[in-house]
Structure 1
Amino acid sequence: MTVRLRPEIAAVPPYQQGRPAPQGGYKLSSNENPFPPLPAVVEAVKREAERVNRYPRPGAPDLRAALAAELSVDVERVLIGDGSASLLQQLIHAVAGPGDEVIYAWRSFDAYPLFVRMGGATPIEVPVDADHAHDLDAMADAITERTRAVIVCSPNNPTGTIVDREALDAFIARVPADVLIMLDEAYIEFVREQTVDGIALQRAHDNLVVLRTFSKAHGLAGLRVGYAVGDPAVLRGADMAGVPLSQTALASAAAIAALEHVGETFARIEALADQRDALWQRLVDAGVAVPRPYGNFFWIPSSPGQEDAIHDILDANRIVAKVFTDGTRISVGEPAADEHILAAATAIQALQ
C-alpha cells in the first residue's frame, strides 16, 4: 500500500524547468539574462559567504528598506521572497482554498495552475485574445462569488504582450474590493513604452499587489530573490503562508548590490532591448507571426501535435527553448544566437 496523496497534488503535472543547452548550443529556455553578474554583486556574495554559518535576518530588513527607498513606498508595504513566483504562490494560498476560484489569462505563466491547485482552489483560465494579449473584459466577466484572486501578467509570460493602462483601470474597477489582484511584473524592466505604473496603481488600490523579481533583468536567477508591494495586511497573510527564514542572506546581499549599481544593470537591459527589437523586426520581415515582445523573449505560435517537429528544428539550430502545445517561447540570449533563432522561428512558421 502506498501513501495517499491529496487528489489535487496527485493530479497536477510538475512544473517543467527550461532544458539545459547541449555542448556548443544556446540555452534560450528560461528567459535568463545572458550577461554575467555585475562585479559588485559577485563581491557582495563573496563577503556574505563568510557568514553562511548564521541564519539570515527574518524578512531581509536591509533589502526591504533599500527597495522601499527605491520605490518611494513605506517599508511595511514590501515583502521579500524566493523569487516573485514563490510570493505569488504564498498570496494564492493566503486567500484561496477548496471551493474558491483564481482567474488568470491562458496562455500565461505555466506555474499558475500548479500554485492554484496545490492550495485546493480551482483555476479559471480565460483565453488570451487574437493578439495573444489578456482579454481583461472576459476576465472580469468570469468573476463570481467564488473568485478570491485574479492574476494579470504584464509582460505576459510566454506571449510577451502587455496590458494597456486604460483597459487595466477599467478591469480593476470591475473587480470587487475583497478580491485580490496580483499584477505579475517579472519582466517589467524590459518594457520601453511604459503604459502602466504598477506601484502607483497599488497606492490607489489596497486589493492590488505588485510582484517583481531580481531573477530576470538583474541577472540573479541563481539566487532566487523577488519582492511584492502591497497592503501590509495582505502581505502579512502571504508571509504567514511562506517558510520562515527562506530568504537567504546571499540573495539579499546580491540584490542590495544590484540596486546600488542599477545604472549598470539598465545599460545592459537597454542592450538586450535593442537586440530584441532588431531581431523581432527581422522575424516580422521574414513573415514569422510573432507578437511584439515586451519582455526578453519571443512567442512563436504553433499548433498542437507539432511539438516533436519543433524540438527537431530547435536541435538542428543548436537551441533549447520552452515548447508548449500552442507555441514556443525563445529567450533573447547571446547575440551570436540571433541567427539560430531566426532560422528556427522561420522553420517553425513553415509548419503552419
Structure 2
Amino acid sequence: MNIENSRDYYGQVLQGSADLKTDACCTVEAPAPEIRSALAHVHPDVRARYYGCGLIAPEAAHGMRILDLGSGSGQDAYLLAQLAGAEGSVVGVDATPEQLAVARGHLDWHAERFGYRNVEFLEGDIEQLDALDLEPASFDLIVSNCVINLVADKAKVFRDAHALLKPGGEFYFSDVYAERRVPEALLSDPVLHGECLSGALYWGDFDRLAREAGFRDPRLVTDRPLAIGDPAVAEKVDGIRFFSATYRLFGLDGLEPACEDYGQAVRYRGTIPGHERALTLDAHHVIEKGRMFAVCGNSWRMLAETRFAEHFEFFGDFSTHYGIFPGCGELMPFSAAPAGEAVSGCC
C-alpha cells in the first residue's frame, strides 16, 4: 500500500461514495476551553472534512514554527495557527488534492478571521519530505494526526522529522497502533489501509523506529482503544486490538536510553496559557503548579532544554548518579496491557 491508495480512499470518502468503518479517524477526547474557542474560528467546511484520531494541540506553541504532516483539509493547521499567533507560522503538507483544495480555499477567510496570515499548504508525500523546499533544523514543532500509519516507509518519516527539527524541538503526533504486528496478508487490503488499520505499527516496532531515528525516549501522552463497527472489517482483524495514541518525541541528543536518577526536581510556574494548574508532560508526569516534582535526567532535559524551560524552576544537576529512576520501565500504552497486568511507567 502507498500514498496513491490513500488519496483514492479519502477522495472517495470526501465525495460521498465511501464511508469510514471505524472510529480511528475520529477525535473523541473533549478539548479544553481554549481549544474549543479556537476551533470555533475554523471554517465549518474545513471541520466537516477532518479525519484525525487525536487532539493535536501541543502546549506553549506561541511563536513557534510548526510543520503539520498530512494536514488534510487544514483543521489542525488552522487551530495551530491560532496557538502560534502572529509571531509563529504553520506549514501544512498533504498529498490528497481534494483535501488541499479545501484547505487552500479558506486561507483568506482564516486570515481575516485571525487578523493575520501565518499558514501555507504544500502538496507533497510525507515519505519524501526531503524532496520539498524545507530547511533542515528549522521547525520548533512537527505534528501529524493519523497519517504515519498510511505510509510504507515509516522509518524515513521519523528520520526526516528529526532532521527538520531544531535542537530541542518536538514531534507531537497521534496515530493508530496495534498490540501485535498486523499479518502480511492484510497489508494490501485497501479498506483496512484506508481505515488506518493495516498500516498500524506494533507499539514495540514504533518504539524501536523512533529511537533509531534519534528520538531516544518516546513518551506516551494519551491512548484509547479503537471501535470497529463494520462486521466485515472486524472479522478480518479478529484477534488484534488497535489503539489511538498520542506520543511526543523530543529532538534532544543528550537523552539516555533509560530513565536515570540524578536527584533532580522541577517546579512548574503555572505560566502556560490553558495549563495554569498543571502541565501534562506525558501519561506519567502531570506536574502541578508550585509542587516540587522529582524527575529523571531525561524528563529534566525535556523541560530544561526545550520551549518549556521558561515555565519551570530547576533543581539539581548531573553531577551525581543514583542509578535507574524508581519505577522506570517500558512506556507501553495503558490500554494495550494484557488484562490483569500492571503497566510500568517511565519515572
**TM-score normalised by L of structure 1:** 0.34
**More helix as a share of residues:** 1
Relative contact order, CA 8 A, sep 6+: which one is greater? 1
**TM-score normalised by L of structure 2:** 0.34
